[in-house]
Amino acid sequence: MARTAGSHSDITGPRVRAAAQKLFAARGFAAVSMREIAREVGVQAGALYNYTADKQSLLFDLMQSHLEALLQTFEDDPTATPEARLEHFVRFHIRFHHDRPDAVFIAYMELRNLTSDNFARIEAMRGAYEDRLEAILRAGVTDGSFDVADTKIATLAVIAMLTGVSTWFRSGGRLSLQDVEAEYWQMVRKAVAPS
């Protein structure tokens, strides 16, 4: 058994995924060829198939990793007040998405390029994340700190609003990420508050 530790596969594997993520985000899954990914890695196209079964798996793995990280990183404290939990969700979502714009972009734009099996798996994970927010909203409705007619709609509305940040915000501009977090939190807080 030779070449286990220090073998190139420990290096090339992650680089394949990184190159694919970068290119898929910039130009789209369908518009990027395996040869382009290989060129970005500095390798011939055939070598990619040591690290992925096919192009579809490469896309699916990127999306799955992203959503796994999302679900695993978000921590909700059910003993806190609904308002505190919601604020934490808002700030977490904005920050997490801002830190990985490529992965976010792919997860939202390339759903239709998944096979139906893979699509179902990804959708289930996305649904699980939405459920985390809906649980917070429901808790607030129950104890009277929130007032929304339909927690499912409010969940989708809040997530759409927050995810939109990554379509325009770039660090180094007029506003800091903290400014943006604070501003979105004010809007969300008021949107679900009792009138």
Partner DNA sequence: TCATGATCTGAACGCTTGTTCAAAACAATG
Partner DNA sequence: CATTGTTTTGAACAAGCGTTCAGATCATGA
Indicate whether 43 belongs to the interface with DNA (CB under 7 A): yes
Contact track, its own copies, 85-124, x by CB under 8 A: ------------------------x--xx-----------
Out of 49, 84, 115, 142, name the contact with DNA by CB under 7 A: 49
Residue 88 makes CB contacts below 8 A (sequence gap 6+) with: 76, 77, 80
- Judged by CB under 7 A, the stretch of 2-10, 100-108, 136-144, 184-192 that binds DNA is 2-10
Out of 12, 15, 22, 28, name the contact with its own copies by CB under 8 A: 28
Own/partner long-range contacts of 112-119 (Cβ < 8 Å, ≥24 apart): 113/29, 113/30, 113/56, 113/59, 114/56, 114/59, 114/60, 114/63, 115/56, 115/60, 118/56, 118/59, 118/60, 118/63
For residue 27, report the phi and psi dihedrals to the nearest 5 degrees. -130, -5
User: What does 180 interact with, of its own copies, DNA, none (CB < 5 to 8 A by kind)?
Assistant: its own copies
Q: Which residue, 49 or 150, has its beta carbon nearer to DNA? A: 49
Indicate whether 170 belongs to the interface with its own copies (CB under 8 A): no
Q: Which residue, 109 or 128, has its beta carbon nearer to DNA? A: 109
What span, in angstroms and rounded, lies between the C-alpha atoms of 116 and 41? 29
Structure tokens at 114: 């998944």
Contact track, its own copies, 142-161, x by CB under 8 A: ------xxx--xx-xxxxxx
* CB of 101 vs DNA, minimal distance in Å: 23
User: How many residues sit in the footprint of DNA (CB under 7 A)?
Assistant: 29
Residue from 133, 138, 137, 108 nearest 123 by CA: 108
Structure tokens at 80: 């806190």
User: What does 148 interact with, of DNA, its own copies, none (CB < 5 to 8 A by kind)?
Assistant: its own copies
**74-83 in b/e burial notation, b at 16+ Cβ within 10 A?**
eebeeeeebb
Structure tokens at 48: 């990619």
Q: Write out the residues near DNA by the rule CB under 7 A.
A: 1-12, 32-36, 38, 42-47, 49-50, 54-56
